[in-house]
Amino acid sequence: MFEVPSVADLNVAASLPVTLLALGACVFLLVDLFIPQDRKYITAGLAAGGMLVALVLALLMWGDVIELRDGDTAFSELFIADTMTHVVNIVVLITGLLGVLVAYNYLERTKIQRGEYYYLILFTTTGVMLMGGANDLAVVFVALELLSIPLYILSGFRWPQEESEESAMKYFLLGAFASSFLVYGIALIYGATGTTSLPGIWEAVNDIVAEDAASKYLLLLGSGLALVGLGFKVAAVPFHMWTPDVYQGAPTSVVAYMSVAAKVGGFAALIRVLVAGMPNFVLDGETVAAWQDTVWLVAALTMLLGNIVAIAQTELKRLLAYSSIAHAGYILIAVAAAGTASVADEAVRAVMIYLMAYAFTNVGAFAVVIALEKDDATNTGLDSVRGLARTNPLLAAAMTVFMLSLTGIPLTSGFVGKWFVFKAALSADLVPVAVIGVVTSLVSAFYYLRVVWLMYFEDGESEASTPWPLASAIGISVAGTLLLGFVPYLLSEMTNDITLAFGG
Amino acid sequence: MESSEVAIELYVVLSAILFIMGALGVLLRRNAILIFMSVELMLNAANLALAAFARQWGNGDGQVLVFFVMTVAAAEVAVGLALIVAIFRTKHSIDIDELHKFSG
Amino acid sequence: MGDISLVSLVFILPLLGVLALIFEPLFERQTNEQAIRWLTLGVSLGTFGLSLLMLNNFDTGVAGLQMEHKIDWIEADGFTIRYYVGVDGISVWMVMLTTFIMPLAILASFGPIQERVRLYYIFLLLMEWAMIGVFIAQDLFLFYVFWEVTLVPMYFLIGIWGAEERIYAAIKFFLYTMAGSLLMLLAVLWLGNEAGTFTLPEIIEQIQTGELSLGTTTERWLFLAFAIAFAIKVPMWPLHSWLPDAHVQAPTAGSVILAGILLKMGTYGFVRFNLPLFPEASKTFAPYIAGLAVIGIIYGAWVSYGQKDVKKLVAYSSISHLGFVMLGIFALNSTGIQGGILQGVNHGISTGGLFLMVGMLYDRRHTKLMAAFGGIWKAMPLFSGISLVIVLSSMGLPGLNGFVGEFTILLGSAGSEILSWWFTAFAALGIIMAAIYMLYMFNTVFMGELDKEENRNLPDLNWQELWSLIPIVVMVFVIGLQASIFFDLMDESAEALAAPYVANPNAEALVELNTGDVELAVALWAISGAVIGVVVTPIIYSGRGRNPWSGGLVGAAAGAAGNLLLLVPLWVYTPALEVDEHALPATSEAPGD
Amino acid sequence: MENFFDLVPLVVFIPLAGMLLNLFAGQNLGERGVAIIAVGASASAFLIALLLWIAQIDTGYGAAVIDAPLLGSWIEIPSAGVDIGWQFRVDTLSVTMMLVVTGVGTLIHLYAVGYMHGDERFPRFFVYMNLFLVFMLVLVTGNNFLMMFVGWEGVGLCSFLLIGFWFDKAHGEGWKNSDAARKAFIVNRIGDFGLILGVLLTFWTFGTLDYYVPGEEPLAHHAETEEADVPLFGTGVEEAEEEAHATGPMGVFNQAEIWLEEGDHEVEFGMVSLSFKTTITIITLLFLLGATGKSAQIPLFVWLPDAMAGPTPVSALIHAATMVTAGVYMMVRSNVLYHASDTASAVVALVGAGTAIVAGYIAVGQWDIKRVLAYSTVSQLGFMVTAVGVGAYTAAMFHLVTHAFFKALLFLASGSVIHGMEHGHHHLAHAHDGHGHDHDADAHDDDFDPQDMRFMGGLREKMPITYWTYLFGTLALAGIIPFAGFWSKDEILLDSLKAGLDDGHMEGYVGFGVLLVAAAFTAFYMWRQVSLVFYGKARHEAADHAVESGRVMTVPLMTLAAFSLGIGFINIPSGFPILSALFGEHRFANWLEESVTYAHGGTANLLLAALAVLVATIAIYFARSVYSDEAMVDLSQDPLEDDLHIRRVFGWANAKLYWDEFYFSFIVYPYQRAAKWLADVLDWQFWHDFVHERIIYRSYRGATDVLTEPVDKGVIDGSFNKLGDLTRQAASRVRLIQTGYVRTYALSVLFGSLLVIFLILFPVIRELLGI
């Protein structure tokens, strides 16, 4: 009953970037042993180099420079390398690179310089890339764990310090708790459809819907639990409680990377499982996917609570934590919009565009927080920003660009993301949630503007240290935010031919 | 073949009960290690369900998944215990109620 | 696509100016502020020159867009968003106003602005770039982008260089306008979805050929969404309370640009979007918006008479002037529209002048209270002479620019097929009230005894101030005496725009039947609200220890306003209430929605 | 001679050039240079007016429409058919006005050179005077209502500038002048509100605002039968017929003629549809409102007396001779409209009569020399307006012309008196500072006011020329036989009586009766003034030392005196014994008929003439007896007040019938209080603070407080604690459970998952339950 898969099935070439990076990470694991403590920058260099190679590969594969049959599957249909996978690879590799750049001096300064940091980042990136291309529930689960466990360690990286430990423990406990929900969900889905491979599930769902079999309740329950597990990862509201504490406790360079990577992984999973796996899961008497209303309500809840609570925050990292919750809400709108069959592709593209735009802005914002942070990891309160425009005009200008992009002011990538998400929502007739989205982004204007107002209108003496790697990271993020804002063509072109292999 | 087998629903109900027991365990216990055990319990409940469905559907996917889950659970616990040791060294207690530094 | 059209050049130049300002320190060791000032002035004058070039090869015979420039910007699935700019009769004068006012604002801020000079001029040029963008954008997405972008530099201008409560004013300005514009974002998306494209001319053409016919309710909601966003910007009467804050706290150049150009974006929006895109809804809402405009005229004039701070007085006068502009636009005939646009230009010039004047007084005496002045005419004769001309132009003295605009608007509204003659009568009242508050200001500040010691030896105008006022005086006389130059540029486009509203023979019947009984119902509804307000508020007031009777009036107003607000969704959703469907031969294929 | 008409634009552009020259180069030209330029400009304008007059006589009273050079069309909107251009209209009516304005204007400019000598803002004064001439001539020569409106408000502006000329006088005097100036402008603006609405209505009714299109003749031109009132088209009906159907564009008046003849024309525009008759009535009434504002009639005359705060030449030129007559000119210009609407004419007549009587009565009780003349002007304007009301357009214009001369004379003479008094006053104090005139009245004792008649008396010997010229003016104004006033006033009385008799217009009788009484008042208060100022003995040392004014002031006085004697002879009614043979009959009436279609000269009625003169002489005799030399020794109170019940009557007159108090308490103060309330309470406290701060901003903060505190801590903890207790009981009291923070989050995850599961199963549950 078990035969050895032929080499053609394996087709490792399709998943080159992922496999390359995974091997690289393991090699660096070994190589790092031989690098003395004071020359840890070599590991950083190697990690960055590895990611750069993977990025170049991903770009080439996206551009069909390397000939391979599109939508090709590897590892006997466990992994699929379609355009969406490449886009996810590009986004997460860029975030990884920025994460390394940002962490380079920070670790030195706050005396937590250890080689493990870099290849833990590599492992997380591999996890996200794997999730991007998951074509089977098993791979989804494994990728999720591969993505989460290094993050638990990373958030506890400054372990002698209480906060960091506490945030790691919280993150770990709740992470494990939530992933067990996911597993149980997968089990039930498997129970209902009889297979764990997503195309298989897709056909099974067609039959279930056609015969209106009893197993549809099992399927509903399973997808609900899977939604809980992934909702936690993406920090949607009912499961968001961990985010503020973990973001505040963990070292800022980790948070910078984690806030984007975890989201990209979470949303890739949601798209693979819900949108690719069960788009046709339509109960009788309805036109849209069964799970659309739930996702839609969770999105609304996330936006409302994320934005409103952010207003009362007085600590910068906590404020950015709630803002990242709010932005998860905006992306969830697009995921909900994907429920309507006709709008699925447009909605998925909107998710990817938003993630790309969000990556640059958020990493940039946290990079500025790192620049402000003192060596003993304090001074991240809101008034650490007061009067920055006088002491360090360039940094203040960069922070303003990030804040405007998070608010969604035009000519910044944030606006482009919101434009596409709201457009997808409107074409899927989700008008109420679009209105909530618009109103909450008005609310968000208030607390983002407060940061700008503290920097420019008030005067205080806030000084910031920007060594060259951090400065270049901020430079790249600002360039990315403005470039994507000025020329959204890049984004729309990149995501233009994302079609879920077996959708429609 | 069916008559002598135990009905699939029983397995699912059992795994559901186990799952809920695990969840309550996580909520009520104050000792970190016991919380870990409850999480393991929940994962194993899922394994049970998977094995039962695999038998019912007659294909190997479920069993493959069980092994995945078990290995991952092991890795998870390893990391978890390392964390507990670290916290114990600083706080000299693994009661998770001490961990409430953040607020608001 | 071929050659770069002049319009794009006018648009790009300020951006190049900004980039020059940003990268200028690289070429120069220490930043000397004079160089920055002259560079900015040079760029804005260059833009003005280019716009003059654009003006003289503007072909007055063409109603549609000219000197277009189209580049594909975003190709997403199903729709392409283009960088599509062009200029036609309606927007040519708005662009000219922008390029005309900016050099003056820059020149006038040579003196007062001394700290963070580079940042200041970067924001000014960004403002100019964004404002020109708004007026030439022909793509919904492009328009929305520039509409929002104008907010950011003005937020900083008010916030950093403003007066005491600048932060509060800046935040309020930003949030107020953004709230409106977010509504517009939804409307733009919805319209884009329905029409399948974001290019404005294509959508208008679809609507005119009946290819795209929005149902009455959708059309009304879209009209309202656009209308609210623009009404906040204009500002129309109930949504005006951000204006005094923003104007009073902004630096001189800031309030000149704010009053001169930013407010016109609102009126321009109505003309560019609401009228062509939603003919039926415009016809239905025209009397109510014109009613608000007339209230604005009278309310603005009356409140400015009660002011003690001269800058606030000028700010409220803008509400009154723009009430006239809105009345002109919603007279829905070509005279009214052209009058409205010209009055927009006039208001930009005269109120720009007024704010420059107030700024110069503030720089000398550092107070804006009128009581602190008196007899300035004797102390500063040259300044007072020029101020007299500007005051007269803003008061609408015939022979100057203010009168021409107001007369054409009143002409349009008198002959409008939508507005009853009550609107013209009450609007004409505005002329008297304009004289009252303007002369009150001129009297208390310029005439009377030079009895206060500080006013005795105030220095008269220096060359920057003089040269920032002279072009304004020249334009006041040029428009005042030769208005036809301006009209024949606008005529073709305005006529095309007003065509659907004039051609409909039984428009009168349509409106007559429906406004009659509806007005009665609305009046009763409002009165009942007022009665409740009068009864309820004293109870609340007395509860909080304030004398109950003072609350009565406030309560009445709140009650009435509350009820009226409740009305909006009520009648938008009930097409049955409208008799127009039956009276009107089915212009659109599907009667009703 | 035809091309002389092209000179018309020069009439306006020369004073404009004069004004600009003085404005820019005034400071360094010195008084002489400025005077030369100013007077020269006015004189050359007068010369051109003369040339035009000659050209017209030569071409048989021809008319022409000339386009202004340099300026293209003013407001031209092809799509709406709006085409208003800068065009001048030269016809007999406009030339008459030109002659009056520039003629009297030049004399007053000359006089002002002397009067304003020594004032430090001397050039600025002449800039405003020339600017006034420019606007007045634009008003008079404009060929469309809008150009007239430019002149209309322009002269309002000049009167504002000139009234407030001494705005910087000390001791609150300056503030008083500025407020008077502002009052004048605002009251004029209220009048203009009516006019602008009238112009709007005219445009939409006739499609154009032009009086006449170039080359167009006034239609009812040939209907000149004398006796009966002109039937609509009289003899000239044939030509009118074919002309009527000439399809070309036509001016306002000719279209009106045609439609009147058709009778059933409906005015259709926008939401309005009215019969032509009612439209005409509305237009004429709105024009009347405009005229009352400018020509100081009943409701809006309050600004003229306060306008006396300006220098005397200003009062003479603007507030007596020219500007205030603009309203009358406008009504005469649109006589076709007024003739067509009987109701409007009736209202005009009544307003005119009312003003005449009220102003005449108030003038009796005034002490300020210029204020008496101001009220007398208002009353005389009332005469002219009544004339227009009863259809006697020629009489109105004739009275306008004569009044311009003798009222200007009276004002200049009073200026010379004031000048003399001040001179005496300074001389008295031996501190001959010699700068400026009556704006430094505070030199010695504070209550001395050079304009108050109570300090004058016995100036006959000291200022002989001023006395005689003043006497000439008084006799002319009172309407004594050879003087100009008699002819024009008699014409008006005759026509109003005839309107009553022939056409049965009731207002004719009322007008005649009221005007007769007003004439009596006029004679009385003028003689009262002469006796107070010139007869008896000096009541104040300043009057003792008063000195006759210089030649530059007395020469204009003498010329004006000659005119006020001779100007009456240009329109001798037909059939008058000697003089009609001597000077020709109705020369002025025939002259006007060319342009004013419904103008016609009346025949002489000797009985009525005698009656008018008799009434005047009785009034003078009565004044002479009351104000005899002994009665005027010291004037603590007016001799009239001796008798008890007359004192109350005199008191009311002195208090100006409380018009100002009425306006202030019922209109001005409530407006100000409402403005304050609106600005402070409604707009700021309620709308800005209450709505924005309390409702929007506070709710922002409220939402965040609610969400951050309880949600994070209270609500979730609270409910979970309860849930915790619940589970505790359920778990049969295993050790007391105290939920830590971490588990709060775990609880929230559980709570979240329950929520999600419920939501996702919701459709199924609903289907199961069959809702």
Chain A contact for C178, CB < 8 A?
Answer: yes
A311/D759 touch (CB, cutoff 8 Å), yes or no: no
Q: How far apart are CA D509 and CA C43, in angstroms?
A: 75
A415/C145 touch (CB, cutoff 8 Å), yes or no: yes
A170/D745 touch (CB, cutoff 8 Å), yes or no: yes
Chain C residues within an 8 Å CB radius of D687? 241
* Pair of tokens at residue C73: 């910007």
Minimum distance, in Å, between the CA of residue A288 and any CA atom of chain D: 12
Stated as kind and residue range, the H or E segment containing D90 is strand D87-90
Chain D residues within an 8 Å CB radius of A237? 752
* Strand bridging mode D87-90 / D64-67: antiparallel
* Listed residue (A417, A380, A145) closest to A253, CA to CA: A380
DSSP 8-state code for residue A38 = G
* pLDDT computed for residue D723 by the predictor: 53
Per DSSP, which regions of B15-95 are E strands?
Answer: none
User: How many other C-beta atoms lie within 10 A of the C-beta of residue D688?
Assistant: 17
* Pair of tokens at residue B98: 């001490």
Bond from prior residue into C235 cis (ω within 30 degrees of 0): yes
Question: What 3-state DSSP class applies to C560?
Answer: helix
Stated as kind and residue range, the H or E segment containing D54 is helix D30-58
* Listed residue (D146, D2, D127) closest to D63, CA to CA: D2
Asked if A325 contacts A243 with a C-beta cutoff of 8 angstroms, the reply is yes
Q: How far is CA A402 from CA A363, A412, A452, B57, D458, in A?
A: 9, 8, 10, 52, 91
Q: How far apart are CA C70 and CA C5, in angstroms?
A: 9
pLDDT at C483 exceeding the cut of 50: yes
Q: How far apart are CA D472 and CA D569, in angstroms?
A: 16
* pLDDT computed for residue D99 by the predictor: 92
pLDDT at B88 exceeding the cut of 50: yes
Q: What is the pLDDT along chain A (504 residues), one digit of tens a residue?
A: 466 767 666 677 777 888 888 898 888 888 888 888 777 778 888 888 888 998 888 888 877 776 555 556 777 778 888 888 889 999 999 999 999 998 888 888 888 778 888 889 999 999 999 998 888 899 999 999 999 999 999 988 887 778 888 888 889 988 999 999 999 999 999 988 888 888 888 888 888 877 777 778 888 888 899 999 999 999 888 888 888 888 888 889 999 999 999 999 999 999 988 888 787 777 776 777 778 888 999 999 999 888 888 887 888 888 999 999 999 999 999 999 988 888 888 889 899 999 999 999 999 999 999 988 887 777 778 878 888 888 888 899 999 999 999 998 988 999 999 999 999 998 888 889 999 999 898 888 888 988 888 888 887 777 788 888 889 999 999 999 999 888 887 788 778 777 765 543
* pLDDT computed for residue C257 by the predictor: 93
Q: Which chains touch A (3 or more CB pairs under 8 A)?
A: B, C, D
Q: Enumerate residues 713 to 742 of chain D having a beta carbon within 8 A of any beta carbon in chain A.
A: 742
Q: In which region does residue C545 sit, left (phi positive, over 0), alpha (psi from -120 to 50) or beta (all else)?
A: left
Helix axes D484-503, D606-626, angle to 10 degrees: 130
* Listed residue (C260, C262, C202, C269) closest to C231, CA to CA: C269
Per DSSP, which regions of C62-209 are E strands?
Answer: 66-75, 80-87
* pLDDT computed for residue A341 by the predictor: 80
Question: What 3-state DSSP class applies to D277?
Answer: helix
Question: What 3-state DSSP class applies to B95?
Answer: strand
Q: How far apart are CA A360 and CA A372, in angstroms?
A: 19
Q: How far is CA A454 from CA A448, C564, D88, in A?
A: 10, 40, 65
C149/A423 touch (CB, cutoff 8 Å), yes or no: no
The 3-state secondary structure of C185-247, one letter per residue? HHHHHHHHHHHCCCEHHHHHHHHHCCCCCCCHHHHHHHHHHHHHHHHHHCCCHHHCCHHHHHH
* Pair of tokens at residue B76: 């998870």
* Pair of tokens at residue C97: 């106003």
Q: How far apart are CA C353 and CA C460, in angstroms?
A: 16
pLDDT at C581 exceeding the cut of 60: no
Indicate the average pLDDT of chain C: 83
* Pair of tokens at residue C460: 């008269």
Amino acid code (one letter) for C54: M
Nearest to B23 among D712, D734, D750 (CB): D750
Helix, strand, coil shares of chain D, percent, nearest 5, are 75, 5, 20
Q: What fold, for B8-102?
A: Helix Hairpins (1.10.287)
Asked if D149 contacts D196 with a C-beta cutoff of 8 angstroms, the reply is yes
Amino acid code (one letter) for D425: H
| Pairs across A and D, CB distance < 8 A | 92
pLDDT tens figures, D253-301: 888 888 888 877 888 777 777 888 888 999 999 999 999 989 988 888 8
Minimum distance, in Å, between the CA of residue D66 and any CA atom of chain C: 17
D756/A224 touch (CB, cutoff 8 Å), yes or no: yes
Chain B residues within an 8 Å CB radius of D754? none
DSSP 8-state code for residue D275 = E
Test mutation, B27, B39, B42, chain D, max D CBs within 10 A: B27
Give the domain ranges of chain B: 8-102
* pLDDT computed for residue D232 by the predictor: 41
Stated as kind and residue range, the H or E segment containing D88 is strand D87-90
* pLDDT computed for residue B1 by the predictor: 40
Residue C592 lies in a domain: no
Residue C393 lies in a domain: yes
Test mutation, B26, B50, B55, chain A, max A CBs within 10 A: B50
* Pair of tokens at residue D591: 């002259």
* pLDDT computed for residue D101 by the predictor: 93
Chain B contact for D719, CB < 8 A?
Answer: no
D712/B103 touch (CB, cutoff 8 Å), yes or no: yes
Nearest to C178 among A442, A458, A492 (CB): A442
pLDDT at D730 exceeding the cut of 70: no
Q: Which chains touch D (3 or more CB pairs under 8 A)?
A: A, B, C
Q: Which residues pair with D585 in a beta bridge?
A: D572
Q: Which residues pair with C84 in a beta bridge?
A: C70
The whole-model pTM stands at: 0.84
Compare all CA atoms of chain A with the CA of C147 and give the residue at the minimum distance.
A410
* pLDDT computed for residue D635 by the predictor: 66
* pLDDT computed for residue C503 by the predictor: 55
| Pairs across C and D, CB distance < 8 A | 180
Asked if D534 contacts D453 with a C-beta cutoff of 8 angstroms, the reply is no
Rg (CA), chain C: 24
Residue D274: what are its φ and ψ, rounded to 5°? -130, 160
Q: Chain-centre distance of CA C374, in angstroms? A: 32
ipTM of this complex prediction, to 2 decimal places = 0.83
C141/A419 touch (CB, cutoff 8 Å), yes or no: yes
Nearest to D76 among C299, C333, C488 (CB): C488
Q: How far apart are CA D529 and CA D459, in angstroms?
A: 12
Asked if D69 contacts D9 with a C-beta cutoff of 8 angstroms, the reply is yes
A225/D744 touch (CB, cutoff 8 Å), yes or no: no
Q: Enumerate residues 74 to 93 of chain B having a beta carbon within 8 A of any beta carbon in chain D.
A: none
The 3-state secondary structure of C10-59, one letter per residue? HHHHHHHHHHHHHHHHHHCCCCCHHHHHHHHHHHHHHHHHHHHHHHHCCC
Rg (CA), chain A: 22
Nearest to B65 among A169, A196, A318 (CB): A196
Q: How far apart are CA C417 and CA D279, in angstroms?
A: 18
Residue C511 lies in a domain: yes
Compare all CA atoms of chain B with the CA of A159 and give the residue at the minimum distance.
B86
Q: b/e map of C127-143 (b: 16 or more CB within 10 Å)? A: bbbbbbbbbbbbbbbbb
User: How many other C-beta atoms lie within 10 A of the C-beta of residue D58?
Assistant: 12
Helix, strand, coil shares of chain C, percent, nearest 5, are 75, 5, 20
- Which range marks the domain in which residue C435 is found? 278-577
